[in-house]
Amino acid sequence: MSNEEKTFQDRSLASNIPSERRGPLSVQPVLPSRLLPRISFRFVMVSMFFAAVFYAVARSAGDGGAVAFAMVVAVLFPAACFVLFCVLFLFAWAISSLWYRHGTPDTLKGSPFADGQLPPQILPPRETP
């Protein structure tokens, strides 16, 4: 790749960044990654701290501590419920995607919003004087 092509490529990348934040063309611009989330060092350290605390409590629960065992159950039960709810949602979503295709006339057959208007009101609003 020649110098001119590289300069053009650098300028096209830098065009997404506002001019007041742009540096010289020798500096590569930092563009947000669309594939990987940004994880800060602080987030990693805080999560490591909580993981270490949880590990210490779980280890004392394994040694027979009743309060530690209760704390482990109190943390793991909601986490297991959340995972189960996610799996059941994905299962229901997969089944519904087999029966209902987007854009077919049968998809909106029973929907009150099918014609693009609001459904009729069951209780009309009161007239306030």
Shortest CA distance to 25 belongs to which of 11, 46, 43, 35?
Answer: 11
pLDDT by position in tens, the chain (length 129): 555 555 545 555 555 555 555 555 666 666 666 666 677 888 899 999 999 998 888 888 888 888 888 888 898 999 999 999 999 999 998 888 887 766 666 655 666 666 666 767 777 777 776
Q: What is the pTM of this model?
A: 0.42
Query: Quick one: pLDDT at residue 35?
Result: 63
d(CA 76, CA 64): 17
Query: Quick one: pLDDT at residue 54?
Result: 87
Q: Return the exposure string of 44-53: e unless at least 16 CB atoms fall within 10 Å of the residue's CB, then b.
A: eeeeeeeeee
Say if residues 31 and 16 touch (Cβ distance below 8 Å): yes
